[in-house]
Amino acid sequence: MLQTEIIKQIEEIVGEKHVLTDKEDLATYAYDGTTTWSHAPDVVVLPNSTEQISRVMKLAHTHKIPVTPRGSGTNISGGSVPVRGGIVLCTTKMNRILDINKANLTATVEPGVVLHDFNIRVAKENLFYPPDPQSFLSCTLGGTVAENSGGPLCIKYGVTKQYVLGLEVVLPDGYVLNIGGTTVKNRTGYDLLPLFTGSEGTLGIITKITLRLIPKPAARKTMMAIFDDMILAGAVVSDILANGIVPAKVEFVDNFVIRRIEEKMKLGLPVEAKTMLLIDVDGSQAAVENEAEQIIKLLNAGGAKVARLAKDENEANMFWKARSAGFAAIYSAASTVIAEDVTVPRDRLAEFIQKLDKISSESGFEIVLIGHAGDGNIHPSVFTNSREKEDLDRLHNTLTAIFEAALELGGTLSGEHGIGLEKQRLLSKALDPRAIEIMKSIKAVLDPDNIMNPDKIWERE
């Protein structure tokens, strides 16, 4: 419990109305998008400037107070859960778009800018920012950088780290560090940008971001395909890529998700479909026409029951609206939902789906699938309404089996959600022990007192 004097000093820095201590407010910031973690902070601080954050961090550093950075809290790894209490430092009030430079194809923003708002703004300039996590309606850009977020467009355009050109970061001792810049090329010493991009708030607090933009593609087409066999759907994705076609998006949902979305939204989806693939191609008009034609042929040759172009832009938007609603459909299905995030090599996607089917049969849990088929990033979701220890232990073992199956195929523990609290118990299976020690050494250099989002990524020692 923080001393009253400390809270008063924080109020002097940011203003009394920007410091929350009521029990109900603290409960609101005790969890993120997961269903398994909840720890209340001692105080929530809502700064509106880098200078305020620096002063709060100097205070925390002096008194060895744990600090957990937070944006909208949409992450689903436990990463923004304040497991040691202390301060939750929420950056949502720092929500200004500081600059959009069309000539240099860059934008500079504060961390609390909501991704959807940013997308609308850059689209007015006929520009495009590709990283598009499915929480885009509410997630903040600071959070997407801290998690190195991905999304459906990653197959063609890459993840957040490919678009971060510069960062302003407040370190655990309050020092304001500026790295990178506004140039696409910057080969000056060690590249520290990727170190902070994806660091899950364990090394510092991101307070300003310079992002690379690209021109908005001139044309786009959406295709929908229905398969009676999920494994065939996975195999045809590999066929598309093997034929030299790189779509903007290749997404899939299984029958459970299709039925749940249709039940909630009445979009006219084919509820009998075992699997639905959604594919976007974009670029020049000629390239889009050619790629769409080739993909339709490959879908039909690969066993699709139905393969067709969206009738018009409205239908295309309806398909993608349904895909975006997928996680909501899953999370509303049970009291305990574990929506996981693993990635396998794209040419082993069909094999991984087979393994998941076997794990489901052996465990007795239905495993619902949704994900970014184009880059091998799958979100197997397991849920239960039971709170019995035996069932929860069995659920735990099922999740372990999913992770191990991905690793056996040369995959990773996480494609985009991060490690946080959810997967730290398996980190030693995914990384060389020396790599983990190097990570810990970097953490110790920047945060020797371990106050910056402690107990994340690796297990507490």
* pLDDT value of residue 111: 98
* pLDDT value of residue 391: 78
Phi, psi of 212 (to 5 degrees): -85, 135
* pLDDT value of residue 230: 86
> Which is it for strands 87-90 and 67-70: parallel, antiparallel or unpaired?
parallel
* pLDDT value of residue 396: 87
Q: Tell me which CATH code domain 219-328 carries.
A: 3.30.70.2190
Arithmetic mean of pLDDT, 25-36:
90
Q: What percent of the chain has pLDDT over 70?
A: 100
Please determine, for residue 101, whether its predicted confidence score (pLDDT) is greater than 80.
Answer: yes
**d(Cα 301, Cα 310) in Å, to the nearest integer?**
19
Model confidence, pTM: 0.93
Strands (E), 114-217: 127-128, 164-170, 176-180, 205-212, 214-215
Q: Where in the chain is the domain with CATH 3.30.43.10?
A: 4-90
Count the neighbouring beta carbons within 10 Å of the beta carbon of residue 382: 23
Arithmetic mean of pLDDT, 182-201:
95
Q: Where in the chain is the domain with CATH 3.30.70.2190?
A: 219-328
Taking every pair of Cα atoms in the chain, the longest distance, rounded to a whole number of angstroms, is 71
Specify the higher pLDDT residue, 309 or 264: 309
Q: Tell me which CATH code domain 334-430 carries.
A: 3.30.70.2740
Specify the higher pLDDT residue, 372 or 286: 286
C-alpha torsion 209→81→137→254, nearest 10: 120
pLDDT range class, residue 388, cuts 50, 70, 90? confident
Phi, psi of 349 (to 5 degrees): -60, -45
DSSP labels, 42-106: SEEE---SHHHHHHHHHHHHHHT--EEEESS---SSSTT--TT-SEEEE-TT---EEEEETTTTE
Q: Tell me which CATH code domain 4-90 carries.
A: 3.30.43.10
* pLDDT value of residue 407: 96
Please determine, for residue 3, whether its predicted confidence score (pLDDT) is greater than 80.
Answer: yes
Arithmetic mean of pLDDT, 220-244:
93
The residues with which 211 forms a beta bridge, in sequence order, are 107, 164
Highest mean pLDDT: which of 160-169, 224-233, 336-345, 371-380?
A: 160-169
| 144-181 tens-digit pLDDT | 999 999 999 999 999 999 999 999 999 999 999 999 99
C-alpha torsion 393→395→398→402, nearest 10: -130
Q: What is the mean pLDDT of the chain?
A: 93
| 50-64 tens-digit pLDDT | 999 999 999 999 999
Q: What percent of the chain has pLDDT over 90?
A: 76
Please determine, for residue 201, whether its predicted confidence score (pLDDT) is greater than 90.
Answer: yes
| 417-454 tens-digit pLDDT | 999 998 999 999 999 999 999 999 999 999 999 999 99
Which CATH class for the 97-215 domain?
Answer: alpha beta
